[in-house]
Amino acid sequence: MSVETDRGARIGRLINPGLVAVVRANRTEQVLPLAEALVAGGIVAIEITTTTPNHLEAIRAARQQLGPRALVGVGTILDVPGAEAALAAGAEFVVSPVGATELIAPAHAAGCPVMLGAYTATECLRVQAAGADFVKLFPADTLGPAYVKALRAPLPDLRIVPTGGVDLQTASQWLDAGCVALGIGSSLLRPEILKADDWPALTRLAAKFVAAVQVASRRPGALYLQGESRWWR
């Protein structure tokens, strides 16, 4: 397949079911059982952040073990060398909390989607116009779903993925506002789960998030086109 075909397929997996697990593991050895637990619960997009100890080793091991069962990416990337190292380790998508548009070229050259951070309307439009596949709205908990709805009124083509403030209670609200996917961190990978290595609990919680998203996508006015890279509302 071409790099564009690869990137399109990976975009499809990011928005189906539309959940990106943001992994900040306490220990490198947690990543594999943690990732298996997420996949068992139905979450296939796994973002391993650079704050995870030995994150490159964790990405490489996760890709090798999970294979096509999951989409393993890297988060908290701030510069091109960091992106290139993660891509070489096997990362399949790149996420940054900031609008580092210089990350787009190396990610796309590797056939991988890139999600860049933004906060204001100007920042959102700038990173998407530069070629980012998604806009990571961060920190989204300070803004809320109403902000996304207001933002997309004049800018309906923004492909927004909020991170921060997304939980089981608010997931449907973010989707109703027009978000194409949701980044989920501590509300999924709860401190008590990581502390106890309670992977069955993580699987159960992941399944609850998947169910919540599926219910929201079936609401009147929400049409999800499986295999496509857009979410129309």
Residue 156 pLDDT exceeds 90: yes
pLDDT band at residue 21 under the 50/70/90 scheme: very high
Residue 207 pLDDT exceeds 90: yes
pLDDT band at residue 215 under the 50/70/90 scheme: confident
Annotated active-site positions, please? 47, 136
Residue 189 pLDDT exceeds 80: yes
Give pLDDT tens digits for 114-151.
999 999 999 999 999 999 999 999 999 999 999 999 99
* Own/partner long-range contacts of 56-62 (Cβ < 8 Å, ≥24 apart): 56/85, 56/86, 56/89, 57/28, 57/89, 58/25, 58/28, 58/31, 58/32, 59/86, 59/89, 59/90, 59/91, 60/89, 60/90, 61/31, 61/32, 62/31, 62/32, 62/35, 62/90
For tokens 């988060």, the residue is 75
> Three-class SS string for 106-120?
HHHHCCCCEEEEECC
CATH fold of 3-222, please?
TIM Barrel (3.20.20)
Residue 227 pLDDT exceeds 80: no
Rounded Cα distance between 133 and 154, Å, is 19
Give pLDDT tens digits for 63-121.
999 999 999 999 999 999 999 999 999 999 999 999 999 999 999 999 999 999 999 99
Extents of the domains making up the chain: 3-222
> Going by DSSP bridges, is the β-strand pair 223-224/45-49 parallel, antiparallel, or unpaired?
unpaired
